[in-house]
Structure 1
């Protein structure tokens, strides 16, 4: 039971990478990015509703409500910034900054939850953060510091740094909300609230495309991303309830490595061999967490 979080987190990472790859395919068809993100959540509502109705409702106190009220606006801002980052700048100058999230999680869960991690586990988190950064560098071959140099001229890079910071807080707050409710209740209830918050933004940003949704096939394009996003949500919440936030999010970053494989096999992207070093670092990090994390 102690190590059950690891295979669940690996399934979470796989589901996230698959959902993102299918979303990228939808965006390549020039569908509105806000509507695609919104439809992913919309299509998740039926299974989430079934899960919510079949899950015993825990006693929800003021601590749960306060945590949700703090987390929701942060989650919405992070989602919007993520969309903007993907739209404004090349992936090679934005995605590497997601590697900062595990670094922030070495500190924030301790401050908010009192979670401690071992020295070996901490080194494993650092390995995964470094690996997830390195494996994205070949997307933009101007050296290891190219994403940081781009901060001055690429607004997308700044957006993604904001996302990395916000994700470290939302992951920690999610762990807190789970601890005062239940994993399955939170997994079904929280995405519904995110959907409600995103709805006015998406409908306004995609107002010109709404009339043509049926003709363009955007609903069908969002169906499979929504399914894998649902699996990612459930497995992510369950894994968070079983281990430290820093460990879970660090291992979940293997989705970046899986995304590279998707890029190679589905989109014929180059540079698979060049990214091997980043993959080795990430796998070594996971091994250190498994061996010495507690």
Structure 2
């Protein structure tokens, strides 16, 4: 009876956060410290991305701010929603936060891509230049930036509603039970959930999303494609010339061999005539 009671209490403690982070772990002092540190590291990656751009095509700091601030607002809205939702589920909030975060970074990224491409299509076909992501006019207009920010945050709302509905499926309870079970220390688990895993995932997601959001000159894309086609044609021409040269050299070798054979056959015939 005692062993049964102890096993029940251990199981209950495990599901209530005894071995993992508690209900207020995400909103505690250590949790907020990790969140602020993560935000700083994530946007440092976007600064590094700007310096990785070719110098002739590098965005000005104003355009860079317009592009990246949309991600900042959207990421903050998603993050706060995940922190709040993690406390609404039963069990360890860290695991629920991590599941929401990973879904936002995978399925959510697909929804963002579709939404951005749809808005760019509408901007071209309907003439709604304000929602053409990455285009702010000349000189850059703050109204266009604000319209795109609101549209991007609206996409984040769609992402969060979709992921929340997807999280209602029953099998996530089984996923939650084993996803962080090897980590018994609550603070280590919180560091993995709030800093280590999100840092690498956010670095990739911010980099990819920034490529979606930044302006790409259609003339430059056509020029690059024409240059690529010219390069391809040059390569094909070079290969054909090499092949022709190789065939000619083979022909010369065969002709020289035939000449030698004819010369060798002519010598005995000449001797026979003389004799």
Task: State TM-score, norm by structure 2.
Answer: 0.31
Higher relative contact order (CA 8 A, sep 6+): 1
User: Which is greater in Rg?
Assistant: 2
Task: State TM-score, norm by structure 1.
Answer: 0.30
